[in-house]
């Protein structure tokens, strides 16, 4: 993910702008437990794909549920780096 896109995604996540996240093509992954705890992963982050994205989970999540600490930290680094 490039810096400008990361900035836009981060802004949309912070503002809970689901329309912009969908427009940017952000996909989310996580099981029902992650849905309830708002810790879903952003699957567009290639640098940590497989590190934190729960590939064996059922996908119950939507962009409203983004909140994985590893994903958000990586997104911050990409946006500010």
Q: Which residue has the higher pLDDT, 73 or 37?
A: 73
- Name the residue range of residue 48's domain: 3-80
Q: Which residue has the higher pLDDT, 79 or 16?
A: 79
Tell me how many domains the chain contains: 1
Tokens of 67: 């909140």
pTM, entire model? 0.75
Q: Which residue has the higher pLDDT, 47 or 67?
A: 67
Please state, in angstroms and as integers, the Cα–Cα distance from residue 13 to each residue in 43, 56, 76, following that order: 14, 24, 11
pLDDT 10s digits, 10-23 = 898 888 888 898 89
> b/e for 6-25, b at 16 or more Cβ within 10 A?
bebbbebbeeebeebbeeee
Tell me which DSSP letter residue 81 carries: -
Q: How many helices (H) and strands (E) does the chain have?
A: 4, 2
């Amino acid at each position: 993910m490039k810096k400008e896109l990361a900035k836009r995604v981060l802004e949309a996540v912070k503002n809970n702008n689901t329309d912009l996240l969908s427009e940017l093509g952000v996909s989310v992954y996580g099981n029902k437990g992650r849905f309830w705890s708002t810790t879903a992963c952003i699957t567009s982050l290639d640098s940590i794909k497989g590190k934190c994205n729960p590939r064996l989970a059922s996908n119950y999540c939507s962009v409203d549920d983004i909140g994985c600490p590893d994903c958000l930290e990586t997104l911050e680094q990409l946006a500010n780096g």
